[in-house]
Structure 1
């Protein structure tokens, strides 16, 4: 029989072991091996059978065992040490407090639609969520005062299995919040034993409905993560399901989720700060466009909320922008959330809806694709993200370049290089992804990975080659056993009987070159590129002297039939009896699977269609475990490949026929494995060590280790984005006069810009034959119309000339000084330009708006060029 309702009953812990609840309630255990050891000691078998989930473990272990542990002096000593270590971790000053201090923001609200923190909290689908989880964990380790904001999906993302024919199947098991490491955010009940009523967030929706949500709190070390949940009986059925599953449902379902995440998320942060006394955020960080509606709530707070300052819409936008950071992760237009303009108008009508009182026409304009090539019927969440953030970034240098091209229509008068989208390359959280044995080995040699210096991994030079090789074999063997266990389970779910699965005991070999490939399965990641020539792949797998083995995993979106076909193609190849001991596809790729996979692989394969990989952090995790990357030069690999830390797969850029391009790049992949990768792995010295391979491992750790750490990434965010955003926010929010002045100035400049023109440009000081060392004098006569010289900057832009169209390459910008004013708003500007390089030279002159509170020359989108 089937229960009509389920819930979890949490155990009552005896007082001597009560600290187990404290440890289980903070997700720091997920990246702290010593705390995991404590839980393993409670009941080793149950620790494994519960998927290393402390909450489940404590729910299943019997009271007799807990009483027994209460009198176990050795266990209590270990427990007390772990609890004391956690308290010190939570309270002691860390890098941010010691280094950044009061100059940095006192609070940062970080919004993301998904978080990959641990497998026991399945609120993630892929790289975006894993990155968000690493961001929070690293903020905790560094002491960055972050508050995470997301949604609590009752079904999480789907669990993947395979049919007998190898077709992806999805299941959505219900998650019980009482069985997760979560607590409800409650109102404070002063002087009472009553825990207080759960906080309720309410949002007006289309049709006069009200969406209610409660707020669950996950503690990620020092960082609180607020997760909104709409599974409340008071909600109508269609609204109760808003947080049913990640990235599921119709377009209207998605817009409801994003309204809840952005607008409800801001209200949840306000409630959390009010209840706990935490500082109100000075900086709001939008991790991808899904949370972009948060800017609308902040505008509402400043314009029409009863407790707000009553600013104009324009001034409120300036306040919101000053403290907002927007990170885009999307290198393909199809990955951006775009809603029908009519649907957005339906939800955000004047006087009602999520942000009542905010003018609908002004709101709709924020997401309008009102540029060449844009769709006037669409509301673009990324476009709104850029318009409501004064600072924006991509997640690798190449992705920043791609993003500037994708969104250049927002700044049409500027070259792509000046589009105000920077880049901070992603990093990964070493304590989560690096094998414990690797971290312990380098720690014994004196490495200080927390310090984040460029020589942090140089200690690997002191580790003998046989120790490096022995450790890699140990990690490879652990992966082999994990693969066999998972493969047997998968085949059982596909209908195989135990009698049919004897072959699984011989799958993979701990002494064979092991290549890993695991990621989401959209078409551009090219899961099946390795299958372009099946016979050649088969020959590589079965080579009599230099065999290769492949471990593959990944999920296709439930609505992506093409992705599912790619998985089926791989599975059918891997099912063949002659190769199934050398290639496996493991379903239900998640954090728990990934943690032994990265350390156990010798090579990490990544073959996306360039330049569609925004960053690709999986290869970073492999590198930190001594794995070598074999990748298309895309994402982070394009930035940090140096010719000695792995292999670059040649890319057939410019080949228009996609099949031809795939054939060329697959052939290059086969040849690299056959002629370079495998020979180097199996080229051993007299004592059985592949010395050249080991040197590549050492070089990988030294050259990539400091760069790919999330501590480097987050320090970059603090230095380049969070601290400057906090300064801007403080400057403009001090009494809001700065916002009012800036908004008025922008309005005045935009309305008067048509009157700005460059009448004439003169140059002098160079003879018929210019030489290096000459000085070029440039004079520009500029009409400013209704604007004053302090409103603008006149610049000379100069540099090498390339091509037949006189394009300036790597231009240098220098200001011209105001020299003289004439009647009628006409002015003379002058500057001297040194000619310090030989070769073709060119220059031009332009006029830009100038204001102390602008962060980029292109911010207003206004520029006048000399003709």
Structure 2
């Protein structure tokens, strides 16, 4: 019989053990090993059964065992010490507070929006890299002391659980998650009733959502949940699954995440007595409607729309993780019109939105406009509502600038104002305990904060090769044990009999070179490139002298039949009796599996189609554990590969796709056979692969401090959050008459004047003189431009001379921009600008002159996307 309803009942803890409850619901336990060991001591067998989940453990432990622990002085001493240590962690000044004490102008609050967060296995609110990155961002923000609030949705069925059929086809199941059994608590008001966020829907309906709070160290993560009695059946299911359903389902989720997320923050800050966040960070465009909601709030407070937009832009950061236009969320414009609706009331910019009263519907549509007028583009909206934007690796920043170049017409791609901050990973979550312990030994301290300093990693030079190899071997053995357990479970689920699985006991070998490939399974990641030549792969796996074993894992989106077919190809190859002891596909890839793969794999394989991997942090986690990367030069690996921390798979650009796969697969096989395996199996008299160990040591020293999420969050704080906070404070400052938002009103008025004047701005004449008949490198060139400013003042524009080498079509290559100063007025209301500059390069050289808008409150002269060329 099946239960009609499922819910969680927790035991009553003895008063002396009350701190266990507090430790269990602060997710810091997920990266604090002493706290994990404390919970393990409660009941080691039950701890494993509940998936190492403290809330699950406390929900099932017997009262008798709790009474025993309440009388166990040694256990109580550990509990008290960890409870006090958590108090210290939550209250002591950390990096952020120390920087402020030293004069840094940081925001007093940051709101971080993401559609998924991978914090711990016990809170399955993630699908892949984006969610894990968001989780690591929160954890590192906590470790650094940032006053950050995370915002997302609570999915009652998470992403999905993956299993395989007998013939290797992916199957999905969606377990129902009970929030009461998760490390969450409801946000309640003064009346002790749950806070409800309300959002108007079409057909006069209202979407209601409760707010669950997950405490991630210092960071509250607000998760909105639509499965509440106040909603009808359809609206209750809005937060049922991550990335499930059709576009109607998706737009409801994104409206709830963006608009509902802002409203949840307002309620949370009021209840908790926290200052409202100054900076809003969109991790991808899914929550982009948050900007429109903030505009509505400011209009309600008395601002006009353009002034409100100016304030919102000044304090918003947008991060794109998408390297191809097809990866961007798009909705039919008519669908957006239906959800945001007309209220029947008119304003100066047209009919007001029903969902966001006071905001003209056409302006909302314009935020997401693209070349196709029937499509609403969420990334375009994110970029239009944010003054600062970035990609997630140096190469991805370059790709993003080209991809979004159309929003800044007239500018070369490298001038598009999209920067980059390379992602990072949270070391305490992903580094094996053996490496953490070695780090503490080298630091001579329990505090790992100093691992952010590159010089500290140099101390690994003092560690003997035998110790490094011993750690790597121990972690590989642990991985092999786990693989055998998962293999048996998978084969049984697929219908195998226990009697035919004796081979699993010796499958995989703790002394064999182990390669890992685990990630989501979209086509561009090329899961099956390794199978391009099955005979050659089999030869590598079964080599008698230098064998290789390969562990593969990953989930395909439920709607991606092509991705499922790729998984089936790998499974069918791995099922063959000849190779099944050397290659396995492990279903249901999650954080617990990933952790052991990162710890134990000697080599991390990554072979996407370049440049379609935005960052690819799985290889970072492997490097953090002494794994060597074998990868296409894409994402983070493109900027940090140095020839000694792994191997580059050469790319075959410029050929057709099939030929490219053939060439890159052949290069992969060659590297494994001729470079990777020989280094691993070449041993000294003590059985140590000395050249391999030195590559491991170099990887840890060179990449360790770079791949840390603490470095990433510091970069965001210093390069994006702090400038956004300063920009906001300048923008909302009072004018000379004491009126608040005076600067914002002035900037908004400037933007309108520029937009009106720009069609008539032109450069009417450019004169050059001063060069000798045979110019030499460094010869001085004087340029004078006559500019019609169409009513703008000379100090409201930036006039630049642009010089550089030219190609055969006279296009400037990597030009130098030289400011031109205003020298007076010309005939017919024109203005004169001039500069004298040395020629910067030799060879074919050219120049032009251009005009851009200029205002001190703009992030750059290219921000408005306006330029006039001579």
TM-score range with shorter-chain normalisation?
over 0.9
Q: Secondary structure at the match of 2:124?
A: coil
Aligned to 1:161: 163
Q: Which range is displaced more, 490-499 or 384-393? A: 490-499
Aligned to 1:736: 741
Contact map agreement 1:90 1:221 (CA 8 A) in 2: yes
Q: Which range is displaced more, 319-328 or 4-13? A: 4-13
Shift of 1:456: 2.9
Shift of 1:449: 5.1
Aligned to 1:611: 611
Partner residue of 2:793 out of 763, 778, 788: 788
- Cα-to-partner distance string for 1:638-695 (whole Å, 9 max, x where unaligned): 011111110000001111x211110010000000000000001001111111111011
Aligned to 1:768: 773
Partner residue of 1:864 out of 853, 861, 868: 868
What's the TM-score, normalizing by structure 2?
A: 0.97
Residue 860 (structure 2) pairs with residue 849 (structure 1): no
Give distance in 1, aligned partners of 2:709 and 2:610. 24
Aligned to 1:497: 497
Contact map agreement 1:449 1:456 (CA 8 A) in 2: no
Aligned to 1:459: 459
Residue 671 (structure 2) pairs with residue 672 (structure 1): yes
- Name the count of aligned residue pairs: 850
Give distance in 2, aligned partners of 1:643 and 1:855. 37
- Cα-to-partner distance string for 1:14-47 (whole Å, 9 max, x where unaligned): 0111110010010000000010010011011111
Aligned to 1:316: 308
Contact map agreement 2:10 2:60 (CA 8 A) in 1: no
Aligned to 1:62: 62
Q: Which range is displaced more, 838-847 or 578-587? A: 838-847
Aligned to 1:192: none
User: Equivalent residues in 2 for 1:627-646 (5 A)?
Assistant: 627-646=627-646
- Cα-to-partner distance string for 1:126-157 (whole Å, 9 max, x where unaligned): 00000000000000000011100000000001
Residue 411 (structure 2) pairs with residue 407 (structure 1): no
Give distance in 2, aligned partners of 1:139 and 1:725. 17
Contact map agreement 2:443 2:456 (CA 8 A) in 1: no
- Cα-to-partner distance string for 1:440-460 (whole Å, 9 max, x where unaligned): 112201287523122231111
Shift of 1:298: 0.3
Residue 809 (structure 2) pairs with residue 812 (structure 1): no
Partner residue of 1:184 out of 183, 186, 199: 186
Aligned to 1:140: 142
Aligned to 1:707: 706
Aligned to 1:693: 692
Contact map agreement 1:397 1:635 (CA 8 A) in 2: yes
Residue 763 (structure 2) pairs with residue 758 (structure 1): yes
User: Equivalent residues in 2 for 1:403-482 (5 A)?
Assistant: 403-446=400-443, 450-451=449-450, 452-482=452-482
Aligned to 1:294: 290
Aligned to 1:662: 661
Contact map agreement 1:40 1:47 (CA 8 A) in 2: yes
Shift of 1:774: 2.1
Give distance in 1, aligned partners of 2:845 and 2:437. 56
Aligned to 1:193: none
Shift of 1:772: 2.9
Aligned to 1:748: 753
Unaligned runs of 5+ in 1: 190-195
Aligned to 1:539: 539
Give distance in 2, aligned partners of 1:329 and 1:666. 26
Give distance in 2, aligned partners of 1:516 and 1:455. 30
Shift of 1:206: 1.1
Contact map agreement 1:25 1:219 (CA 8 A) in 2: yes
Contact map agreement 1:332 1:612 (CA 8 A) in 2: yes
Aligned to 2:391: 394
- Cα-to-partner distance string for 1:822-855 (whole Å, 9 max, x where unaligned): 3432111111112354333222111111100111
- Cα-to-partner distance string for 1:229-261 (whole Å, 9 max, x where unaligned): 010112011101000000001110000000000
Aligned Cα root-mean-square deviation (Å):
1.1
Give distance in 1, aligned partners of 2:286 and 2:317. 14
Unaligned runs of 5+ in 2: 344-352, 734-739
User: Equivalent residues in 2 for 1:36-435 (5 A)?
Assistant: 36-101=36-101, 103-189=105-191, 196-303=192-299, 305=300, 308=301, 310-351=302-343, 353-369=354-370, 374-435=371-432
Q: Secondary structure at the match of 1:318?
A: helix
Contact map agreement 1:755 1:786 (CA 8 A) in 2: no
Q: Secondary structure at the match of 2:156?
A: coil
Shift of 1:811: 1.6
- Cα-to-partner distance string for 1:159-178 (whole Å, 9 max, x where unaligned): 00000110000000000001
Shift of 1:70: 0.4
Contact map agreement 1:341 1:378 (CA 8 A) in 2: yes
Contact map agreement 1:680 1:690 (CA 8 A) in 2: yes
